Structure 1
């Protein structure tokens, strides 16, 4: 398996990384499973921040690494223009990283990040994110995008003429 490649361009914010740990041994658990709620540090509606998940503990000693983010869902989303939005998602330095903008002040949103590993494991951690009431509701600023509206994450490979290097499916190649 291919280990993560350090990105020379962009670093995920260390203060917004949540480690996803492996569940306790089933024999050591009680009959009723423990419910653990994971949450990122709150953000205001006006903020555009990267939030990351570190799956290295759950993949420890498997020889497996994160391969990609299949999709990101916000099941608590509304139809408001200022609703929390995923601006882009990418694997950056082995982390599942998403850029979020907007959000309804005073609301706690749920985000589900569907990831796949190089060996085909699929995980879908659910994370909560509180939107503070410090600013008014703000529409998220759209990220740079390619033709067809495909967002360009900061670790996309850019050619000297400024074009983004893409694969057969039209998705950008990433330094991941």
Structure 2
């Protein structure tokens, strides 16, 4: 009887340990620090509509398509500083590096607290390294983001706030946490 209990206890421990390991998400690798910093800076500017800061991280073709970004100047300030204030630390950023090696791109799923809607909202962005510069790309009114390599990988779809979460859960080895949403 003792042997049965010992074997059962050992098997239970092993199963629980393997489940815990599968659920644990990878911490952001150190060599992604620049990507992650750009993403967090851009996201915070995006939330409070600090167009000048956003402009620093966007490619020229996106800036040219948006009059507000095009005309933004240093010192303009944020249009909605209350959004960032009321959000505080209530946001998470998770990265997906599947395309990093071949395309120098990392995709990000962001959840944040929007006090005006009293709930969480989701965003998806990407950061691409070109030469020594990092640029953010986003949907900006389109259905999703990414090039043909993303649609080939994602059953014909671009990444959007919903499906990137599914892709991340199916590819835990390519998913990492930049900032965790606080509990509570």
Normalised by the length of structure 1, the TM-score is 0.27
Larger strand fraction of residues: 1
Q: In terms of Rg, which structure is larger?
A: 2
Larger helix fraction of residues: 2
